[in-house]
Amino acid sequence: GESVGLHLPTLSVQEGDNSIINCAYSNSASDYFIWYKQESGKGPQFIIDIRSNMDKRQGQRVTVLLNKTVKHLSLQIAATQPGDSAVYFCAEDTSGNTPLVFGKGTRLSVIA
Amino acid sequence: GAGVSQSPSNKVTEKGKDVELRCDPISGHTALYWYRQSLGQGLEFLIYFQGNSAPDKSGLPSDRFSAERTGGSVSTLTIQRTQQEDSAVYLCASSLAAGGRYFGPGTRLTVT
């Protein structure tokens, strides 16, 4: 089937290790950020979000860090599992339901 | 299921024909978005509906593309006189007034 992101940056991680996926966003006025996971042949799946009044938010095995000074967003996945293999996109938004601007994506490959 | 659904899942059409793609958003979500994802690319915004407001059509690539949302719920994306460059996965997402966008599985369109 069709593969998502054939020419994307790839991060290879050993199973059980922690993964860090980085994203630089473009608009200093963006105040809402989302990480999505997309597996081949599927739509993007919401993972975690963060608003600009926070610099860290934790979910189950995932943590998002926001550095507004350098317009940088990161997604940390603890104890990476084979099921985490996918393309990960960050997305930024400005004040509500405006169209999200998506980054290019990073392919995470988990080595068992 | 309570997620966003899209139909058909796959559509193969001949160049020059018209196609209609359907999106059923999550019940109660006031905002609906259409995106396009070409092979190896990120997500490209197409159009956005919010409640009864006029849609934001700023992402539509040409006047061959149009979309409507009936009764604040179901949306149809229409592509007239399809071209080979229209081949892509068309993704629909919905959201509440302020929150993460939840994506459907997409419709894979192939123009031959």
Residue A100 CB partners (closer than 8 Å, separation 6+): A34, A91, A92, A93, B33, B43, B45, B101
Q: Domain containing A70 — which CATH number?
A: 2.60.40.10
Please check whether residue B59 touches A, CB under 8 A.
yes
Q: CA A45, A32, B90, B74 torsion: positive or negative?
A: positive
**Residue A1 in domain:** no
With tokens 């905002």, the residue in question is: B31
Of B31, B3, B13, B5, nearest to B88 by C-alpha is B13
**B75 has pLDDT over 50:** yes
List, in order of start, the domains of chain B with CATH numbers: 5-97 (2.60.40.10)
Element (H, E) at B33: strand B31-37
Assess contact for B43 and A101: CB atoms under 8 A: no
Give A99's pLDDT tier (boundaries 50, 70, 90): confident
- Give the residues across from A76 on adjacent strands: A20, A63
pLDDT at B1: 52
**Residue A22 in domain:** yes
Of B33, B51, B50, nearest to B94 by C-alpha is B33
**A3 has pLDDT over 80:** no
Give B106's pLDDT tier (boundaries 50, 70, 90): very high
**Residue A71 in domain:** yes
Q: What is the 3-state secondary structure (H, E, C) of chain A?
A: CCCCCCCCCEEEEECCCCEEEEEECCCCCCCEEEEEEECCCCCCEEEEEEECCCCEEECCCEEEEEECCCCEEEEEECCCCHHHCEEEEEEEECCCCCCCEECCCEEEEEEC
Q: How many domains does chain A have?
A: 1
Question: Which of chain B's residues have a Cβ under 8 Å away from the Cβ of A3?
Answer: 39-40
Question: Which of chain A's residues have a Cβ under 8 Å away from the Cβ of B91?
Answer: 43-44
- Cα B43 from Cα B91, distance rounded (Å): 9
pLDDT at B71: 82
- What is the tens place of the pLDDT at every residue in B45-69? 999 998 888 899 999 999 999 999 9
Give A27's pLDDT tier (boundaries 50, 70, 90): confident
Structural domain that includes position A67:
10-111
- Cα B1 from Cα B26, distance rounded (Å): 9
Give A107's pLDDT tier (boundaries 50, 70, 90): very high
Mean of the per-residue pLDDT values for chain A? 88
Pick from B31, B43, B95: CB nearest A102: B43
Give A103's pLDDT tier (boundaries 50, 70, 90): confident
Please check whether residue B20 touches A, CB under 8 A.
no
Pick from B56, B101, B104: CB nearest A100: B101
pLDDT at A5: 42
Cβ pairs A/B, distance under 8 A: 68
